[in-house]
Structure 1
Amino acid sequence: MTTTEKKDFLSNHSYELYEATTMPFPNKTISHFALTDSLLHYAGKHQKNIVHFWPTINLVILGMMDTKLPYFKDALAVLKGYGQPYIVRNSGGLAVVGDEGVLNFSLILPEDPQQKMAINTGYEYMMQLINDVLKPFGKKSLAYEIKNSYCPGDYDLSIDGKKFAGISQRRLKNGVAIMIYISVNGNQTKRAEMIRDFYQAGLKGETVKWHFPSVDPAVMATLEYLLGVSLTVDEMKNLILRTLLQNNCSIVAGEYSSEIIADYNVGFEKMIHRNQQMLGNSIDKELSE
């Protein structure tokens, strides 16, 4: 596939914008994940392109694999000790941290039913978009696994060997969500130390068949630090939108139609049920209300 084809969704396309500040839902945590699935259905059914911003405040987002830790309850106690609420997301992977210095952002794209988007192609769209954002700063991110980071993967984004972002995907019928968390500012060392302590408490030195990272805070950094500039989450969001506009994309506010809300309600109940199953008595009841 040529570079032009890889960048196709990033230029001369129309996008609908959904973000946390416009959500008509009282729950501001699990709602993000339920809405993602609803928007995936909507994008696939109506062949729409969607930009979804969903920053969170003080939330550890666990992957389903994390629940397999042999001392999972002890690991959760570590998060409680840090004063961090937590939920289990509806996809694989491992724990990531969301707080006021982290931007969660998704490109939700339709698939051609006759020609599915390759997994790597989805990752490349997001990486290209972030690198377009970074160009004015004279920096370029590289994509490869930063093994001792939290939630390591082939599409960890790093500058000078330090990870500042991680990309994942979720797919439903005819829709692809390419999701990224970007550590924009804040105390990245503390975030990494917390997840390191989480896994240490959950493993207690035991060897298991699943791979959990030995988190080293030194291999991660914020984008603000790596660029050497002051940068806020809102500024990063605006840089992403400006880059799409500069690539001749149009962006309009998305509407929470009755169809989207109905799908959201189904997804919300599924997320509640999953967290009840995975967390049992350890569920954070405030987050699930």
Structure 2
Amino acid sequence: MINKEVWQQQWRYIDESSAGLYLPVSHSFATDDTLCQSVGSGNSSAVVRTWVHRDTVVLGVQDSRLPYLQQGIEWLADEGMDAFVRTSGGLAVILDEGIWNASLLFADGDGTLSIDEGYERMVTLIREMFPETSIHDGEISDSYCPGRYDLSINGQKFAGISQRRIRKGIAVQIYLCVEGSGSERAELVQQFYDRAGSAKAKRGVYPAVRPTSMASLQELVSASLTVHDVSYRLLTTLQAKGASLESGRLTREEQEEKIIQLSRVEARNQKLIQKQ
């Protein structure tokens, strides 16, 4: 059932891996919320969207409760990083030009698709995109943003998956560390938590990040791999499995809805970051 849904659906393909470099990450979350509503209401076929953003630490709602959050955010700014609180679950992750992100957005009209099945669709896709290596799914507890569906190779995490549901629409989102050093990114998150006070927060909520628990696909699979190569693998994998792809952008109605969603996402972020 999972394979059939991933490979045989009609997909709209929206590539924002270049445009996203010139937009704050709030646009991606607003876009996904907009598309999630479109597919859930039946106004759109399933959507696969790729996106890349510059130098941002995306925080989870739990991170907004850190005792010294503002000190942590100020330190990130000194390091050239923005901070943003996302709407989906999880803890802090890094986005930069070497991190490839993808969203699978599809409908669950009868409400029978379980949370795990939603995640498994993304896991299935990524494994097919990288057949030359063995990818394990399971929590890497000392990585940043640890979760049941962390993806790793030889014990080192290179990707994490989150999920958001709006009415009858489902958005499964992945951040995939492609280029550069995974451990250097992990060290930055570790230092953020040190400054934001995770040791003084509720025990067990925040990870004790071990930088060497993380790596990039350049380090794990091929030193020549780029985010553009990963986008190409996505398209060729879907097409090879019989999926029908239609390249496009937001419709006029979706663009209007995105303006509403963007206002909500940014207001929510501002409230959570400034609540201390």
User: Shorter-normalised TM-score: what interval?
Assistant: over 0.9
**Is the alpha carbon distance of 1:109 and 1:204 closer, same or farther for their aligned partners in structure 2, counting shifts above 3 Å?**
closer
Matched, 1:155 2:149: yes
2:98–2:180 contact (8 Å) kept in structure 1 = yes
Give the whole-Å Cα distance in 2 for the aligned partners of 1:35 and 1:241. Answer: 20
For residues 58-109 of structure 1, the C-alpha deviation after alignment (integer angstroms, 9 at most, x for no partner) is: 1111111101011111111221221111111122211100001000101101
1:78–1:197 contact (8 Å) kept in structure 2 = no
Q: Which runs of 5+ in 2 are unaligned?
A: none
2:90–2:145 contact (8 Å) kept in structure 1 = yes
Which of 186, 194, 202 lines up with 2:188 in the alignment? 194
Give the whole-Å Cα distance in 1 for the aligned partners of 2:145 and 2:159. Answer: 10
Q: Which amino acid aligns with 1:83?
A: G
1:20–1:28 contact (8 Å) kept in structure 2 = no
Deviation of the 1:36 alpha carbon: 0.5
Determine helix, strand or coil for the equivalent of 2:274: helix
Aligned length: 275
Matched, 1:87 2:84: yes
**Is the alpha carbon distance of 1:207 and 1:39 closer, same or farther for their aligned partners in structure 2, counting shifts above 3 Å?**
closer
Q: TM-score, normalised by structure 2?
A: 0.94
Provide the residue aligned with 2:25 in structure 1: 29
Give the whole-Å Cα distance in 1 for the aligned partners of 2:118 and 2:205. Answer: 25
Provide the residue aligned with 2:175 in structure 1: 181
Provide the residue aligned with 1:287 in structure 2: none
For residues 2-41 of structure 1, the C-alpha deviation after alignment (integer angstroms, 9 at most, x for no partner) is: xxx12122222211011226869x8442111100000001
Provide the residue aligned with 1:258 in structure 2: 252
Give the whole-Å Cα distance in 2 for the aligned partners of 1:207 and 1:102. Answer: 29
In the TM superposition, 1:110-125 aligns within 5 A as: 110-112=107-109, 114-125=110-121
Matched, 1:8 2:4: yes
1:72–1:202 contact (8 Å) kept in structure 2 = yes
Q: TM-score, normalised by structure 1?
A: 0.90
In the TM superposition, 1:205-224 aligns within 5 A as: 205-208=199-202, 211-224=205-218
Provide the residue aligned with 1:286 in structure 2: none
1:66–1:94 contact (8 Å) kept in structure 2 = yes
Give the whole-Å Cα distance in 2 for the aligned partners of 1:210 and 1:84. Answer: 26
Give the whole-Å Cα distance in 1 for the aligned partners of 2:95 and 2:23. Answer: 16
Q: Which runs of 5+ in 1 are unaligned?
A: 283-289
**Is the alpha carbon distance of 1:188 and 1:269 closer, same or farther for their aligned partners in structure 2, counting shifts above 3 Å?**
same
1:82–1:194 contact (8 Å) kept in structure 2 = no
Provide the residue aligned with 1:172 in structure 2: 166
For residues 127-163 of structure 1, the C-alpha deviation after alignment (integer angstroms, 9 at most, x for no partner) is: 011100111x2x1211110001000000000010000
Give the whole-Å Cα distance in 2 for the aligned partners of 1:278 and 1:12. Answer: 40
Give the whole-Å Cα distance in 2 for the aligned partners of 1:96 and 1:9. Answer: 28
1:146–1:163 contact (8 Å) kept in structure 2 = yes
Provide the residue aligned with 2:36 in structure 1: 40
Give the whole-Å Cα distance in 2 for the aligned partners of 1:49 and 1:43. Answer: 6
Give the whole-Å Cα distance in 2 for the aligned partners of 1:55 and 1:204. Answer: 28
Percent identical: 33
**Is the alpha carbon distance of 1:194 and 1:48 closer, same or farther for their aligned partners in structure 2, counting shifts above 3 Å?**
same
**Is the alpha carbon distance of 1:204 and 1:181 closer, same or farther for their aligned partners in structure 2, counting shifts above 3 Å?**
closer
Which of 101, 104, 108 lines up with 2:98 in the alignment? 101
**Is the alpha carbon distance of 1:219 and 1:38 closer, same or farther for their aligned partners in structure 2, counting shifts above 3 Å?**
same
Determine helix, strand or coil for the equivalent of 1:11: helix
Give the whole-Å Cα distance in 2 for the aligned partners of 1:267 and 1:260. Answer: 10
Q: Runs in 1 of length 4+ with deviation above 4 angstroms?
A: 21-24
